[in-house]
Amino acid sequence: MEDRFITLDHANLDREHICCAFAGSKAAAGVTGKKEWIRGQLDDGFVFRKLDAKAKVFIEYTPAEKAWAPIDAPGYLAISCFWVSGRYKGHGYGRRLLESCESDAENGVVVVSSAK
């Protein structure tokens, strides 16, 4: 069976696992807050696409003009988070997620980054 990716939307957001840095039983408030934030961004073009698994394999992006940092790039998508962790590395998931973002983009993709 081919691995399946899920794009979060208003219909599935409440039932889907969001594979962010929130983990453990004490993370409930963080998960709830993140889901509420996502809900508010979806109508502005925000995308959260993830592997259909309880894993940190996902990409988040939005139209550049709606990005958290000021970006002057009309028609571009701004990646805000892109993560493939642990045993999921080396299986092509990152490539497929990035390609899905690129195919959604009108003009291209931008990223704001810094040293770790």
Considering the chain, what percentage of its residues have pLDDT values greater than 70?
91
Give the per-residue pLDDT at 29.
79
Q: Would the pTM of this model clear 0.85, i.e. be above it? A: yes
At residue 4, φ and ψ (nearest 5 deg) are: -110, 140
Residue pLDDT, tens place only, 33-66: 899 999 999 999 999 999 999 889 999 999 999 9
Find the CATH number of the domain harbouring 51.
Answer: 3.40.630
Residue 3 in contact with residue 93, Cβ under 8 Å?
yes
Query: Does residue 116 lie within any of the structural domains?
Result: no
The CB-based long-range contact list for 111-116 (8 Å cut-off, 24+ gap) reads 111/78, 111/79, 111/82, 112/67, 112/69, 112/71, 112/78
Quote the domain boundaries for residue 30: 5-111
Please state the domain count of the chain.
1
Alpha carbon distance 53, 11 (integer Å)? 18
In this predicted structure, the answer to whether residue 32 has a pLDDT above a threshold of 70 is: yes
Q: What is the mean pLDDT of residues 62-84?
A: 94
